[in-house]
Amino acid sequence: MCSCQHSVPESSAALVAAQEQLLAIRRKLNIEPGAHTNPTVDAESEAIGRSWLLHNGQRELQRRRRGLTGLKSTRAEPTVALNWIPQEALPKVSEKTPADNNAATVAVYPSLLLATLKQDQAAVGRVYLLLRHLDAAGRGWLPVEEIRERLTRKGSPLKVMGWRRLRQIFNQGEDIFWERDAQGRLWLRSAAKIALKLDCHRFKGNRVDLPIKTLLGGIGTVRAHFYACFHSGRSSENPISRETLESMTGLSPRTQREYDRLAQVKRQQNIALGPRYNKITAEEQSWQRGRAVFTFVDSQGKQGRKNREYIAWRLPNSYQAPHPKRSKGRQKKINQQLVSLVKNGVQGNDHVEVDKLFWTNGAAAGKAYSRDQELDAYWPRGSAQRRPGAIWYVMVGKEK
C-alpha cells in the first residue's frame, strides 16, 4: 500500500515567508489569532479602522495560496511593496484652470459688451466670457456638470455664484448666448449671432484684454469694466460727451462717473480756443454753446501778444482706460456676417452716423472744414493727449 503522507504538497518557501511576515505584522499590532477586538490598539489605528499593511499582507498570502494549487514550479515570486491605499482615501485633485486667474485675460469686443449693458445682460455676459475662458480647446461647447463644478463649487478658483443662480443665468441666456442639448452640453453661440440678438449691428474699435479677476468680483464692478472696455478699445482719445455715452450704453452720466471710479478710468479735460475776444463774437458763441463759453487770457503769450483775450469753451472729456488693446481679430468678418444676417432678418433702425468733429492735425481739420463749413473742426495743440488739460484749436462752423 502506498503511503499517503506525500499526497499533500509541501509548503513553498514563498508561502512560509508570507506567513511569517503576516505573523510579524500581527505581533507588531498586538493582534492575537482569532481575536475580534484588541483594547491595546492605539488611537490612531482605531481611527483608521484597519491597518493597510495587514490588509496588504493578507491579500498577498491568499494570492500565493491560490497560486500554489496546480503549479508545477515553486519558483518564488517577487515581493510586492506593502503600500496599498484605497481609492476612496486618495485626495481629490481638482482640474487645473486654463491659466492663473490673477494674470489670465479674455479677449473681448467692446461693442458687444456695450450691447450687453444696454440690454441689461451683464450678468449673463460675464458667465459667457468665463465659459469662453474655460473652453481653452475651442470646441464651442462645455458639459453642464463641468460648468457647475467650475463656477459654483466652494473653493473653485472661478466660483462666482451658487448653482441656483447659475440655473437662472442659463435660462436667461438661452437662445441668445448659448443653447443646451439633450446630452447635457451647453453650446456657445458666435459673437455675430449674439450681437444680432442684442441689436448690435456693427463692431467698432479694437479688441481689448479683460482680466479674468475682474469677472469674479461684484456685478457692479463687472458692469464698470464692460463700460471701460469701450474707452480702452477706441482708436483715438478724442473728446466724447456724456450724452453720447448715455445713448450708446444706456447709462446715466452719474452712473458713468461711478463706473469711471470703479474701473480706474482717467478723465482729461479739454478746452477749445476760439477767436479773439470781442463783445459781438462772445454773444454769438454764448448763444450757440451756452454756459460752456468763457474768456481765456493768454498770460504766457503762446497765441500772440501776451495777456490777449480769446473766446474759449469747454469740450467733452477724453478718457483713458486700463485695459490693454489688441488687434481687431475677426472683426471684419463678423461685421460682414452681421450685414448678411441683418439683410436676411429684420433691418434695425438704431444705426446713426455721427458727424466727425475732432481731427489729428490742422491739415485734416482744414480739409474737413472745406467739405462742410457748417460743422466745427477741432485739432489739438501739439501733443495735447495725456495731459491734465488739453487745448484744441477750432475752425468755427457757420451758423445753420
What pLDDT is attached to residue 360? 77
What pLDDT is attached to residue 379? 77
Measured CA to CA in angstroms, residue 90 lies from 55, 85, 231 at distances of 17, 8, 50
SS3 sequence of the chain: CCCCCCCCCCCCHHHHHHHHHHHHHHHHCCCCCCCCCCCCCCHHHHHHCCCHHHHHHHHHHHHHHHHHCCCCCCCCCCCCCCCCCCHHHCCCCCCCCCCCCCCCEEEECHHHHHHHHHCCCHHHHHHHHHHHHHCCCCCCEEEHHHHHHHHHCCCCCCCCCCHHHHHHHHHHHECCCEEECCCCEEEECCHHHHHHHCCCCCCCCCCEEEEHHHHCCCHHHHHHHHHHHHHHHCCCCCCCCHHHHHHHHCCCHHHHHHHHHHHCCEEEEEEEEEEECCHHHHHHHHHHHHHHEEEEEECCCCCCCCCEEEEEEEEEEEEECCCCECCCCCHHHHHHHHHHHHHHCCCCCCCCCCCCCECCCHHHHHHHHHHCCCCCEEEECCCCCCCCEEEEEEECCCCC
Total-model pTM: 0.66
Degrees to nearest 5, angle at CA 20 with 56 and 31: 65
What pLDDT is attached to residue 372? 81
The angle, 0 to 180 degrees and rounded to 10, between the axes of the packed helices 242-249 and 110-118 is 80
Based on its alpha-carbon atoms, the radius of gyration of the chain, rounded to whole angstroms, reads: 38
What pLDDT is attached to residue 57? 74
What pLDDT is attached to residue 216? 95
CA gap 259, 254 in Å, rounded: 9
> Could you state, in order of their start, the residue ranges of all structural domains in the chain?
13-89, 105-261, 269-317+355-400
Measured CA to CA in angstroms, residue 380 lies from 116, 237, 273 at distances of 34, 11, 10
What pLDDT is attached to residue 101? 64
69 burial level (CB within 10 Å; 0-12, 13-18, 19+): exposed
CA gap 388, 267 in Å, rounded: 8
What pLDDT is attached to residue 348? 45
Return per-residue pLDDT of the chain as tens, 400 residues: 444 444 444 556 777 787 888 888 777 776 665 554 444 444 444 444 445 567 677 777 777 777 665 444 444 444 433 344 444 443 343 444 444 566 799 999 999 999 999 999 999 999 999 999 999 888 999 999 999 999 999 999 999 999 999 999 999 999 999 999 999 999 999 999 999 999 999 999 999 999 999 999 999 999 999 999 999 999 888 899 999 999 989 899 999 999 999 999 999 999 888 888 888 888 888 888 888 888 888 888 777 788 888 888 889 999 999 999 999 989 999 999 888 877 665 444 444 455 677 777 778 877 877 878 778 877 787 654 445 468 887 888 776 4
